[in-house]
Structure 1
Amino acid sequence: MNLSKLSLSELKELLEEVKAEIKKRKSYWFSFKTPKCFNPAKHGPAYIAKLYLVDDRIEREFFLDNGKEWCKKKKYYKTSWDIELNEGDVIECRLQEGGKFDKREWYTVENGELLPLSDLSEAIEKLKN
């Protein structure tokens, strides 16, 4: 690409596109852990998954944990994750049992911060944008 052939307005537009692309590619590290011993028999295992939208379907890419610390006769465990996320990523977490209900949480990365989302439908809307 020969930049000298571009007008000043084209260069400014290109600069803004480059800045946006760099920001999108910047990654951030986040740490998560189960707050207490987790019972996987209730609703399934503790997990963190990155969400993708494929043909209007949710796909999940699960992150590996840092290893389990077993408690209560190896029926319950504590675990943690250190994960790398990019700007705009959406994740789903199950870090707590939630009693009678499956307690999942959703987050998106905006300006290097994890922002909570209210439910899966809001997560889907973020993925569409």
Structure 2
Amino acid sequence: MSMQDETPTGSAAPVESAGGPAGWRQLPVVEQAERWEQIIPGSAERMLAQVEREFDHRRRVEVLSLVFYAVSVTVGAFIGVGCLWLAKYFLDHGQAAAGAGLLGSGSVVATGLAVVRRSAGR
């Protein structure tokens, strides 16, 4: 008898956990999990372990994403302040065209990065 024959239909629809679609993955209803356990002993424990590993992985990815975002904001702020400081240096030393060019190109790059980031859906 195949596993497909043993899988109940109708009431065996997966139940979404409290974490929602972005949290824990969908778990089977009790009846379906009991049937799987009869067919493959230990399957319920393996499914729960997999769900826990997936949850831990998502948490690590979210933390890394926040770290990379914080680093990018910090580096961007330093670059912006550096451009302003360098433009002021140019202006103080009689190089108004170089200072204006630096501020203009910096503004274009910052605007371009903001547009690309927004269009990427972030």
Same fold, TM exceeding 0.5? no
What is the TM-score when the length of structure 2 is the normalising length? 0.33
Q: Does 1 or 2 have the higher relative contact order (CA < 8 Å, sep 6+)? A: 1
Q: Please identify which structure carries the higher helix content.
A: 2
What is the TM-score when the length of structure 1 is the normalising length? 0.32
Q: Please identify which structure carries the higher strand content.
A: 1
- Highest Rg: 1 or 2? 2
